[in-house]
Structure 1
Amino acid sequence: MLKVTGSAMPGPVSLLFPTRVFAASRDGDPQPSALSLLRDELSLYTAPPPLQKPRNVQPEAGQLEQSVATLREFTEPYTGWCKDTYSTIKPKVQSVVQCGSDTYAYLKDPPKDFYPRVGVIGFTGVLGLFLARGSRIKRFMLPAGLMTVSASMYYPEKAATIVKSAGDSVYDRAVQSYAALEKMVNPQSKSGKDSETKP
């Protein structure tokens, strides 16, 4: 049996120096023998073995997790395509919604004589369909032409603006098509003129 005697040194300093330990003999000798040991040498004060660092062990994936992973891998190209398509279509959808809300606000509080004008323009379109019997070109051209004439009578400023912009674009397209046609018909005439100008 071991008996530890305290030292007169204060606190932590006493841990550094050897401590006197008395051990009782097994023979029944009443005189204990004295040993001088450090506290770390006693089994009561031995430091515990260092803890092992816990390993982050991932559990094995179950059947549901594997199915979800396979589904994600299968749909990944399609989700990227859908995101690109959505980013392309989103502004167009927003513009259509904005146009619809503007039209609703306009029709909710229309200007004076709006509905009679719309009625006359619509009636001329129906009249054009009634008069355009025969070919499909007549069925398209006659109602559209009559509606355009009646609309331009009610809204002359807007009609003049539309006619001017349409005329400019038609003129530009005609000039471009004429130039392209000339290149296709006479490709050597231009190269011949270039060679004549370079003596």
Structure 2
Amino acid sequence: VFKVIQRSVGPASLSLLTLKVYAAPKKDPPPPHPKKIDELLPYSAPAGQSKYVEEPRTQLEESISQLRHYCEPYTRGCQETYSQTKPKIQTLVQWRLDSYESPKCTGFFPRLGVIGFAGLVGLLLARGSKVKKLVYPPGFMGLAVSEEKLYDWGLRGYIVIEDLWKGSFQKPGKVKNSPRNK
């Protein structure tokens, strides 16, 4: 048993060793005389000079060429018109996009709904009289349009009434259940 362990542990322990191996490139001596390019090619270059010969045009190519020359002024005019109108169209599209986005941000559509609702309420309250139908809807719509001014006026009136109330009824000598009166 001891010999079996000895024979198996020996090679296994060698696999745990780390060894560094350094390799150096082998230097070949330069060739005695370099070869020319012609000697490397498996075929020889043609001795004569080549000449480009253009094939004659077919009838189809001639027809297409004539059609292109005939249409050239029109296509040039279309390109010029496109290049002139493209910035204008882009400006118009951008203006439209801006005008669509800005009312959403400022609350335009909710205000429009309030104004329309005020007009409908005016129509419902104006049943039976032609004069009321002419006065109520525009009047209610006008009130809805000027809601900020009405709110401001109402707030100012409330402040004035509050100051008058505090000034006349809550003077230190006239307040009921005050510690001074007891």
TM range (shorter): 0.3 to 0.5
* TM-score normalised over the length of structure 2: 0.34
* TM-score normalised over the length of structure 1: 0.32
Q: Which has the higher contact order (CA 8 A, sep 6+)?
A: 2
Q: Which protein has the bigger strand share?
A: 1
